[in-house]
Structure 1
Amino acid sequence: MLRVMAIDDEATALSELAHLLRQDERIEHVTTARDGLSALQTVIAMRGAGERLDAAFLDTRLPGLDGLELARMIGGFPSPPRLVFVSAYDRAVRAFELGAVDYLLKPIRAERVAEAVRRLCSAAAAAPGGAGGAVRAGDGETDVIPVELGGRTRFVARQAVRYAQAHGDYVRLHTVDGAFLVRMPLAALERRWSGSGFLRAHRSTLVNARHVSELRFDGGRMVLQVGPEAVPVSRRHAREVRDQLVRRFRLAVAAPS
């Protein structure tokens, strides 16, 4: 059972979101706030009283203390609540740099609220300590990146990404199902997925080690076989990539079957 907070300065939107959350049997308690400052004060008061807060559904556009700034502030607390942003797509993508579990596109729909709650429950179950063990949002195998495809939103799971390439202010995610372009700096994606098996193969490329099937040298340059594609490794990153792959292999061999 989750204890959540809904934050939106629009009374109608806040009322609708809170109602949908309270209708969900996986939600134990819903607290509401109309602006970022009062939300922050409520979070601090709850922590001082020893009350658990598992997640925050917050609009990115709030009066006074902006929603993204609020997310950064509460994200700095020990064991912070997970985040679900409620906003327009262009703003929400930038918010994903803060490690959101999901985002809801206004006007919100009941099925999308239910899906966001499902993702929160999955993330909580995967965290140390189970449902009560809150960790920074975006951790665990449930992390996803939203991709816009002709008016539809597709959620690309981290573990499905073979490698990612920088394209200016965008990143192209190469997955088992094709390539998808998202508006996010590669450096932000690297920070978000640090410690999750992604290797910096080039200043413009991150490679998911779990999809690397071969390491070879071609004309004196290191190349990784990632799925059906050969991904070159820069000389600057070659030693670190090799060492990390060898270390990963040794750990896999040493692990009990």
Structure 2
Amino acid sequence: MINVLVADDELPAVAELSFLLGKDGRIGQIHRAGSGRAALAILEQSRIDALFLDIHMPGLSGLEIAHAINARPNPPAVVFVTADEDCALQAFELAAVDYLLKPVRAERLAATVGRLTELAAPAPEGPEAEMITVEKGGTSRLIRLDEVRYVQAQGDYARLHTAHDSYLVRVPLADLEQRWAAAGFLRIHRSYLVCMPFVSSLKLGAARPTLSVADAELPVSRRHLPLLRERLAATKVRPQP
């Protein structure tokens, strides 16, 4: 469970967001602040894992608060909650986890809380996951490469599919095939690139082979089938000689 602080000079907005957060079992204590200075005071007194900040507040703005806490060791995660669509770039330059537009939808907030709980979990040993900047609805955000399940070609663009969403990037599929090969991505069709750890099954009996990634069934071309079979065979458990 994570402890959060909701800061907004509009008290109804604080109450509404606190209510939505309180319905999520992953949320622990919810602190409230009606100004930037009040938020900083709470941060000095309590353990806060994540901040939900309005951008435009009298005195100290949400952007100023984020800038101030970034200078601290192990700062809490920051999520901006605002009606202003024009500050997204500034927000992500301050390493914000997310940028929510008012009115906040419950399902969108749940996805944000999921990202916060992942960040709060102990980091696994090994190299850090590569981060990718994507855009959707005019908003930039960061996603982890290991969240991408498969990639679909769309002309000179590619659509990255994750568990909860998809994002269009201005990069050809062939470029991503070379760039992400070491991360476990394999070309299975002229239009598809898959992350092998997410593959759940391969069907060869039908006229056209298909491969399942979660709920998606993707075509496999005859040209790419031998390498796919080879990769799957390498993961089979065999008795020791």
2:14 is matched with 14
2:44 is matched with 44
Aligned-residue offset at 1:142: 8.7
C-alpha spacing 1:36/1:69, structure 2 compared with 1 (3 Å): same
SS in 2 for 1:95: helix
Aligned-residue offset at 1:101: 1.1
More helix by share: 1
Mapped to 2, the partners of 1:98 and 1:68 lie a distance apart of: 8
Mapped to 2, the partners of 1:107 and 1:212 lie a distance apart of: 37
Aligned residues: 161
- State which of 108, 111, 117 in structure 2 corresponds to 1:121: 117
**Which consecutive residues of structure 1, in runs of 5 or more, have no partner in the other structure?**
47-51, 130-139, 161-173, 182-206, 215-226, 229-257
**Which consecutive residues of structure 2, in runs of 5 or more, have no partner in the other structure?**
147-156, 161-167, 191-241
Alignment of 1:50-69 (within 5 A): 52-69=47-64
Identity of aligned residues (%): 41
Give yes or no for contact 1:86–1:92 (8 Å, CA) kept in 2. Answer: no
Instruction: Establish whether residue 90 from structure 1 lines up as the match of residue 86 from structure 2.
Output: yes
Mapped to 2, the partners of 1:25 and 1:2 lie a distance apart of: 10
SS in 2 for 1:119: helix
Alignment of 1:1-257 (within 5 A): 1-46=1-46, 52-87=47-82, 88-127=84-123, 141=129, 145=133, 147-149=135-137, 157-159=143-145, 177=160, 178-180=168-170, 211=179
SS in 2 for 1:86: strand
Mapped to 2, the partners of 1:89 and 1:105 lie a distance apart of: 7
Aligned-residue offset at 1:157: 2.3
Mapped to 1, the partners of 2:140 and 2:93 lie a distance apart of: 17
**CA deviation digits over 1:4-41, x for unaligned, max 9?**
10011111111100111111110111001011111111
Mapped to 1, the partners of 2:26 and 2:62 lie a distance apart of: 25
Residue type of the alignment partner of 1:211:
R
Residue type of the alignment partner of 1:75:
N
Aligned-residue offset at 1:82: 0.4
Radius of gyration: which is bigger? Answer: 2
C-alpha spacing 1:64/1:180, structure 2 compared with 1 (3 Å): farther
SS in 2 for 1:103: strand
Aligned-residue offset at 1:44: 1.3
Give yes or no for contact 1:93–1:146 (8 Å, CA) kept in 2. Answer: no
Give yes or no for contact 1:36–1:64 (8 Å, CA) kept in 2. Answer: yes
**CA deviation digits over 1:139-192, x for unaligned, max 9?**
x6495646234x8x68662528xxxxxxxxxxxxx76645359xxxxxxxxxxx
Residue type of the alignment partner of 1:77:
R
Mapped to 1, the partners of 2:130 and 2:96 lie a distance apart of: 11
TM-score with structure 2 length normalisation? Answer: 0.57
Mapped to 2, the partners of 1:78 and 1:154 lie a distance apart of: 26
C-alpha spacing 1:78/1:107, structure 2 compared with 1 (3 Å): same
